[in-house]
Amino acid sequence: MIPFLQNSRLQTLIAALVNGTPLCMGVETFNKPAKVGSGVPPHQDNAYFCQEPPDVLTVWVALDDVTPENGPVQYLAGSHQEGLREHTPSGVKGNSFGLAEAVDEVSVSVALLQKGDILIHHCQTIHFSAPNVSDYPRLGLLMVFRGEHTQDSPEMKDAYHRARALMESSPS
Ligand SMILES: O=C(O)CCC(=O)C(=O)O
């Protein structure tokens, strides 16, 4: 196990936030190298995860300092309480889906971090990030946890497959 996950306070927090026993369902990186790191379109992770109830979260660990210039994650406050919105192919390489409708970026919170800080976001919190235009990398290590009681939602899987089919039929 990654050492900081053995921290009992963090384990207790994750369990409380997923409303049950946490299971790790994925580990990934979102890396933005200096000057060329791409942006991530606004989305909700549960459009990919398709879990019901949506008791799923991501622990996002900063492997570098995150500044306004190197592509911080930005969150729409309270959006996790407003259900899953429609997603469509984003056309952005490496990020299949984005929200079908634009978000009001005025009410966003920008997550500026020091190396080693963590973010925790709910799977239905709308979030996005801009390209890295700075001289400094922005690497993030992500771990996704769900409560062991969550299940694949057939309706959400259908929506996911419909969006995927659109992606496969659109010209690259
Ligand atoms: O690291 C980023 O820029 C975006 C992270 C993200 O989209 C996610 O955690 O799902």
pLDDT tens-digit series, residues 74-107: 999 999 999 999 988 887 777 778 898 888 877 8
Cβ(56) – ligand 1 distance below 6 Å: no
Are 98 and 90 in contact, with CB atoms under 8 Å apart? Answer: yes
> Is residue 3 pLDDT above 90, yes or no?
no
Q: How many domains does the chain have?
A: 1
Q: Residue 60: CB within 6 Å of ligand 1?
A: yes
Specify the pLDDT at position 60. 97
Question: Is 139 inside a domain boundary?
Answer: yes
CB atoms within 10 A of CB 148: 11
Predicted local distance difference test score (pLDDT) of residue 92: 75
Of 119, 99, 111, give the one whose Cα is nearest residue 40.
99
Q: Is 171 inside a domain boundary?
A: no
User: CATH number, domain at 59?
Assistant: 2.60.120.620
**CA–CA separation, 76 and 38 (whole Å):** 20
Alpha helices in the chain (DSSP H): 8-17, 46-49, 154-169
Q: What pLDDT does residue 168 have?
A: 72
pLDDT band, residue 165 (cuts 50/70/90): confident
Residue 144 C-alpha to ligand 1 middle, in angstroms? Answer: 11
Pocket test for ligand 1, best of 99, 129, 145 (most atoms within 8 A of CB): 129
Please determine, for residue 2, whether its predicted confidence score (pLDDT) is greater than 80. Answer: no
Q: Which of 59, 67, 127 to mutate to test the pocket of ligand 1 (most atoms within 8 A of CB)?
A: 127
Mean pLDDT over all residues of the chain? 91
Q: Is residue 61 part of a domain?
A: yes
Question: What is the whole-number distance in angstroms between the Cα of residue 82 and the centre of ligand 1?
Answer: 19
Instruction: Report if residue 86 sits inside a domain.
Output: yes
Is the pLDDT at 31 greater than 90? The verdict is yes
- The reported pLDDT for the residue numbered 171 is 54
DSSP 85: P
Domain span including residue 161: 3-165
What was the pLDDT predicted at 11?
Answer: 93
Above 70 in pLDDT, residue 170?
no
DSSP state of 159: H
**Are 44 and 111 contacting, i.e. CB atoms less than 8 angstroms apart?**
no
- Residue 127 Cα: closest atom of ligand 1: 7
State whether the beta carbon of 30 lies less than 6 angstroms from ligand 1: yes
Q: What pLDDT shows up at residue 15? A: 97
156 in any annotated domain: yes
Q: Would you say the CB of residue 163 lies under 6 angstroms from ligand 1?
A: no
Quick check: is 84 in a domain?
yes
Cβ of 5 less than 6 Å from ligand 1 = no
Over range 140-166, report the average pLDDT: 92
Ligand 1 pocket member 99 (CB < 6 A): no
- Asked whether residue 172 is domain-assigned, the answer is no
Mean pLDDT check: name the lowest of 12-26, 42-56, 64-78, 82-96.
Answer: 82-96
Q: Using 50, 70 and 90 to split pLDDT, how confident is the model at 111?
A: very high
The answer to whether residue 170 is domain-embedded is no
Q: Is 97 in the pocket of ligand 1 (CB under 6 A)?
A: no
